Amino acid sequence: MIWDKHDAAWRSRLAAAADYHHAHGHLAAPAATPLGAWLAEQRHLAAKNQLDQARADALTALAPDWRLPHGADWHRKYHLLRAHLADGADPATLTRDTVLAGVKAGSWLYRQLTTWHGLTPGQQQLMTALGLTPDSNPLAPARRPRRTFEQTAQLLELFLHREGRTPTARETIRVDGDTVKLGVWLAKARTKHRAGQLPDEHVRLVAALFDGDWTTEDAVPAVLV
């Protein structure tokens, strides 16, 4: 016999909430749904200290963050990303264009990591639990290793052979998707050489590419001689 039909109805809603939590990992059900409306009512009652403590405890046991301290949308997207990683996805495969279940999870993650100091301690703790922090940001562009002097000298040699002239001060070339300021590099090498600050091996590398004095603006490439 059901002695309290109201309590039975509440327990039925709690069971539905448990099913939802099992499926989604959170209780941020859309407010437009019956379950979402019921949960919103429970949160409203709890905020006014009008929710029976036993009921509040039951919801807390189901999901400690059932009151959605960071907002429903934040919790939905966080748990969507958490579930994606829990399924074995490699964080390194995440990009700003990553979409999960129709949600732009990549752009959301980018906002969290680039506004980290604006997040609450609770949000930072949750993100850290996923291994996603500014220090481990998988969306940060990989740093290209800095080219050595020898490697840039080789690019200068290719330029001289291809163009048949010395690069201007503002000359740039594209290599592997990267822009190399070849003219600026050569100008700096000249300045260092005049100041006696360029190592002899570097001087020999560049000098071998020109006929005569390579430190002048009108230096003649050796390929033209």
Q: What is the pLDDT of residues 98-125, one digit of tens each?
A: 999 999 999 999 999 999 999 999 999 9
Name the band, by pLDDT with cuts 50, 70 and 90, for residue 3.
Answer: low
Q: What is the pLDDT of residues 186-200, one digit of tens each?
A: 999 999 999 999 999
pLDDT of residue 12: 94
pLDDT of residue 85: 94
pLDDT of residue 1: 41
Q: Looking at beta carbons, which pairs linking 157-165 to residues 24 or more positions away fall under 8 Å? A: 157/209, 160/209, 160/221, 160/222, 160/223, 161/221, 161/223, 164/221, 164/223, 164/224, 165/221
Q: What is the pLDDT of residues 123-163, one digit of tens each?
A: 999 999 999 999 888 886 555 678 899 999 999 999 999 99
pLDDT of residue 225: 56
